[in-house]
């Protein structure tokens, strides 16, 4: 069985390709019930819930996993490190799927930061109305940031009960929550940024699948400050692919081979 950690749309698509091309049973792991619904596909088993390293190693043994493909979000550095360590401990190959970034244009209001703490601090200096497109997982950083006190902060998140409950627990006002599933078109982004009177847009370079291109263009056309949180360093030394075709090429490599031989 091949295990695909599929926390994204392209990860789920990759899992289908793996199943159809290899004719091997595939296990897909997701965090939420909604993710499980999206991942459902013939010939694919879905595991729902967060996994630490010990749980990953147990799953590898119980499911007789021969290959682990990490297609988690480009910014899920902890998941990647944990999965890579678990695969090494169990002696199976590890492949990192990393979607390509969107090339960033020359724009005098484009700012780079390394993490969410830096993004919150800079956003507070650049404007009074902030629009976050960074999701819910790191919302606690922005909700508690001193630099954003007394600022108007709009937050775009998935419309699930789990996420909205978390936002409520963080004290985020429903008035400033936009609960919608993306990715969003240029027109939709422009309308949202304009209607909220945003002065600063905070984003990640999540690639075309994540809608980074349309966020950038809409914010630039409105003359807004854009804060881009740079990606974590890639998994150095790990076999890395950027497309389903590259996976197929690896699978067809009969010299090196990807799967642990039984």
3-state SS string over the chain?
Answer: CEEEEECCHHHHHHHHHHHHHHCCCEEEEECCHHHHHHHCECCEEEEECCCCHHHHHHHHHHCCCCEEEEECCCCCHHHHHHHHHHHHHHCCCEEEECCCCCCCCCCCCEEEECCHHHHHHHHHHHCCEEEECCCCCCHHHHHHCHHHCCCEEEEEECCCHHHHHHHHHCCCCHHHEEECCCCCCHHHHHHHHHHCCCCEEEEECCCCCCCHHHHHHHHHHCCCEEEEECCCCCCCCCEEECCHHHHHHHHCCCCCCCCCCC
Report the mean per-residue pLDDT for the chain: 90
Please tell me whether the overall predicted TM-score, pTM, comes out greater than 0.85 for this model. Answer: no
Across residues 128-147, what is the average pLDDT? 95
Does 259 have pLDDT greater than 80? no
Q: What is the pLDDT of residue 3?
A: 96
* Structure confidence by residue, pLDDT tens digits, 138-170: 999 999 999 999 999 999 999 989 899 999 999
Question: Residue 9's pLDDT band (boundaries 50, 70, 90)?
Answer: confident
For tokens 């695909």, the residue is: 4
pLDDT in tens, 19-73: 999 999 999 998 878 777 878 888 899 998 889 999 999 999 999 999 999 998 8
So what's the pLDDT on residue 76?
Answer: 83
How high is the pLDDT of residue 255? 47
pLDDT of residue 83: 95
């Amino acid at each position: 069985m091949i295990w695909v950690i599929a926390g994204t749309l392209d990860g789920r698509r990759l899992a289908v390709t793996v199943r159809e091309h290899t004719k091997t049973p595939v296990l897909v792991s997701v965090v939420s019930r909604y993710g499980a619904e999206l991942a459902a596909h013939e010939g694919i088993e879905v595991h729902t819930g967060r996994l630490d390293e010990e749980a990953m190693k147990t799953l590898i043994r119980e499911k007789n996993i021969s290959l682990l493909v990490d297609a988690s979000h480009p910014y899920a550095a902890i998941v990647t490190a944990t999965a890579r360590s678990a695969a090494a401990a169990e002696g199976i190959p590890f492949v990192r799927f990393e979607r390509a970034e969107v090339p960033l244009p020359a724009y005098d209001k484009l700012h780079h930061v390394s993490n969410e703490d830096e993004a919150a601090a800079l956003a507070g200096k650049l404007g009074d109305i902030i629009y976050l497109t960074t999701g819910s997982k790191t919302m606690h950083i922005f909700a508690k940031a001193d630099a954003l006190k007394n600022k108007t902060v709009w937050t775009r998140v998935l419309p699930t009960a789990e996420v909205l409950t978390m936002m409520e627990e963080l004290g985020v006002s429903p008035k400033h929550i936009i609960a919608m599933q993306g990715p969003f078109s240029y027109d939709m982004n422009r309308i949202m940024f304009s209607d909220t009177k945003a002065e600063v847009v905070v984003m990640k370079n999540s690639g075309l699948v994540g809608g980074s291109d349309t966020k950038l263009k809409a914010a630039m056309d409105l003359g807004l400050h854009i804060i881009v949180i740079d990606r974590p360093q890639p998994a150095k030394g790990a076999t890395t692919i950027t497309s389903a075709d590259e996976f197929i090429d690896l699978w067809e490599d009969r010299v090196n081979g990807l799967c642990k031989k039984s």
